[in-house]
Structure 1
Amino acid sequence: MKILIIHTAFIGDIVLSTPLLKRIKDVYPEAKITYVTTPVGASILRNNENITEIIEYDKRGVHSGVKGLIALGRRLRYENFNLVLTPHRYLRSSILSWLTRSPKRVGYNTASGAILFTKRIKYDKSKHEVEKLLSFLGELPENLRESYPIELYPSKKDIQKVDDIWKENRLIDKDVVAVAPGSKWFTKKWPLEYFNKVIDLLVANNKKVVIIGGRDEMLLNVHTPSGVVDLRGKTTLLELAEVLKRSKVVLTNDSSPIHIASAFKNTKIIALFGPTVKAFGFFPWSKNSEVLEVENLSCRPCAIHGGNKCPKGHFKCMLDLKPEVAFDKILASLKR
């Protein structure tokens, strides 16, 4: 059985697909799984024992344009896949699925180009994203969170890198709070001054703080007083996963660290939801988590990805979520 997954969405979406890999192996134990994703997506999936091969779909490089898409489709066609699963709902992914000429091509009924699938499944907005993905293989079993956790696999090199960071900064055997102030979407970002307030309160209470994020977050004017470890732009995604695995608590916007941290049951996730809501299905898969949000605000939600500015101009969904509330939640989690 040769199975192909086509998923070229954001990092968080790729992380959320890892339970599907385990589900495939439960249904088809001997299956060989090929995963087509972006170069960034490939970097977070490395070392997953359920995947036979990862193929990078470089939309902006070698596979750009129609010629690049057709070239990749031709390569996939030669593999003679028995089954193609396409969680990504964009037209290029639907076309790529069709180009494989697999006899069984499954995708969502709401996808652009859904007519190109041989089977269309309902995109059920009421379910968590992981549940939606697991539905590709039929009826869902019970105890999904226990049976199908998010799984990430830092390598020995990744682990050694974080070992060195922990030793250098004297974090070994300490309760570390990871703070993730970034997001691709402006309205998903809790005000930076609120993050800075929480960092200052943690430092004043002798707590160990690590700032995480990519190169884009390096532009943020985050408070980094003495003792705060700033790892922005200094880790790969799997090194970041290892950092979150060793952290007692992570404070994060509605962004990829929510889903990366969900792979580790001992890490408490405190997620800040402003324009988005849990009903969208992208809340933490980990049971060791809590979503902080402003309840009963009539304008929430305003968009599934947030936006570049508050449509109402007041930004109450974030401004009314005070830093003292998040700080108290962190302290309570550290005491457990």
Structure 2
Amino acid sequence: MRILIIHTAFIGDIVLSTPLIKKLRDTYPKAEITYLTTPVGASILRNNPHLTHIIEYDKRGEHKGVKGFWLIAKKLKMEAYNLVITPHRYLRSSFLTFLTGAPIRRGYDTAAGKFVYNEKIHYDKSKHEVEKLLSFIPKDEGKRYEIELFPSGIERERVDELLSNSKKNIIVLAPGSKWFTKKWPLEYFNELIRELKRREDVTLVIVGGKEEQLLNIPMYEGMIDLRGKTTLLELAEVIRRARIIVTNDSSPIHIASAFPEVRILAIFGPTVEELGFFPWSKNSKVFQVEGLECRPCSLHGGDSCPKKHFKCMLDIKPQLILEEIEKDLESERV
């Protein structure tokens, strides 16, 4: 049995697909399972023991344009897959699925180019994204599949160095997002930092990509700034060691969900839990403004508030998050 997963979406989407990988391995224990994704997606999937191969589809580099597309399509055709599963709902992924020539091609019934799939999976908007993905494998024994990430010894050693001076209680702050309206106001993050820096039992760690390096965040003695300094698996290892993470509705939510001991405090503004991307971890709490008529304003957020008031974020005050953090710190946890 040769199985291919095609998923070239955002980092969070790739992380959310790891329960599907495990379910595939449980269902087909002797199968070769290959995952085709972007180079960034490949970096977060490394070391996954349930995958046989990872293929990097570099849409902006080696496989750019029509020539690059046909190059990757030819490679997939030669692999002679028995089953192709494509959670990505874009036309390019659907067309690529068709060109594999696999006898079983499974995709969502809402996908662009859905006609290429001979087995269509209902896209149930009411379900969490993990549950949607697990529906690609009909076998259901009522088992809950968890998000899984696998930092290696190399990542652990690197993080040992980065966090060498940290105290027992690490609080990770993830202020970034690709979309402006998904960002909790920076002044709120900074106010939270000013309050927490007074505690002697806490180390604050700021994480994010190179884009977040532009954010004007005050750095106090004892804080650790890792923006733009970690790979994705190093970031996962940093989060694994945290007691608490405060994050916008972005990929750190899903990365943190791989580690059940980490308390996730997730801030949802323009998006809502019903869209299916809330934390999969049970050790989490979502902060959002209930009863706001304009929520959700979109699936991904946007560059500005359509209503010009931005109440969905401005009304989530730093004191709410601070109280939750202090309550957790005062609780008895092993």
C-alpha separation between the residues in 2 aligned to 1:46 and 1:86?
Answer: 20
Structure 1 gap segments, 5+ residues each: none
Query: Which residue in the other structure is 1:104 paired with?
Result: 104
The equivalent of 1:181 in structure 2 is: 175
1:154-303 equivalences under 5 Å are: 154-167=151-164, 170-171=165-166, 174-206=168-200, 207-303=202-298
Measure the CA separation in 1 of the matches of 2:289 and 2:17.
29
Contact 1:70 1:99 in 2 (8 A): no
2: CA distance between counterparts of 1:119 and 1:224?
53
Residue in 2 that maps onto 1:152 = 149
- Whether 1:326 and 2:321 are equivalent positions in the alignment is yes
The equivalent residue for 2:36 is 36
Superposed CA deviations along residues 275-334 of structure 1, whole A, max 9, x for unmatched, are 000000000000000000011111111001000100000000000000111111111122
Secondary structure at 2:106 match in 1: strand
Distance 1:64 1:209 in 2: 40
Deviations 1:214-263 (A, max 9, x none): 11100111121111100000000000000000000000000000000000
Deviations along 1:137-167, whole A, 9 cap, x unmatched? 11533242xxx11000001110000111222
Which amino acid in structure 2 is aligned with residue 228 of structure 1?
Answer: M
Amino acid at match of 1:218: Q
Q: Secondary structure at the match of 2:163?
A: helix
The amino acid that maps onto 2:286 is V
Question: Which of these residues, 300, 303, 309, is aligned with residue 314 of structure 1?
Answer: 309
1: CA distance, partners of 2:246 / 2:329: 12
Asked if 2 retains the 8 angstrom alpha-carbon contact of 1:36 and 1:54, the reply is yes
Mapped partners of 2:15, 2:251: distance in 1: 8
Q: Residues 267 and 288 of structure 1 are in contact (CA less than 8 Å); yes or no, is this contact kept in structure 2? A: yes
- Quote the residue 1:137 is aligned against: 137
Structure 2 residue aligned with 1:77:
77
Deviation per CA, 1:51-93: give whole Å up to 9, x if none: 1010000001111112211110110011110000000001111
Paired with 2:62 and 2:214, the residues of 1 have a C-alpha distance of 29
Specify the alignment match of 1:11 in structure 2.
Answer: 11
Separation of aligned partners in 2, 1:237 and 1:214: 9
Partners of 1:249 and 1:334 within 8 A in 2? no
What is the CA–CA distance in structure 2 between the aligned matches of 1:161 and 1:71, rounded to whole Å?
A: 36
Q: Report the equivalent of 2:45.
A: 45
**After TM superposition, which residue ranges in structure 1, 4 or more long, deviate above 2 angstroms?**
none
Query: Using the alignment, how far apart are the partners of 2:51 and 2:188 within structure 1?
Result: 41
Give the Cα separation in 2 of the matches to 1:331 and 1:64: 49
Q: Distance in 2 between matches of 1:39 and 1:179?
A: 25
Distance in 2 separating the partners of 1:44 and 1:203: 31
Amino acid at match of 1:210: V
**Matches of 2:322 and 2:20, distance apart in 1:** 35
Corresponding letter in the other structure for 2:162: I
Residue 23 of structure 1 pairs with residue 52 of structure 2:
no
Matching residue of 1:91: 91
1:184-218 deviation per Cα after TM superposition (whole angstroms, max 9, x unaligned): 00000000000000011000233210000011100
Secondary structure of 1:204's match? coil
Partner AA of 2:260 in structure 1: K
Instruction: State how many pairs are aligned.
Output: 330
Q: Identity of paired residues, percent?
A: 60
- Normalised to the residue count of structure 1, the TM-score between the two structures is 0.97
Letter in 2 for 1:141: E
Distance 1:243 1:24 in 2: 28
Tell whether the 8 Å contact from 1:182 to 1:213 is kept in structure 2 after alignment. Answer: yes
Provide structure 2 residue ranges, at least 5 long, that are not aligned to the other structure. Answer: none
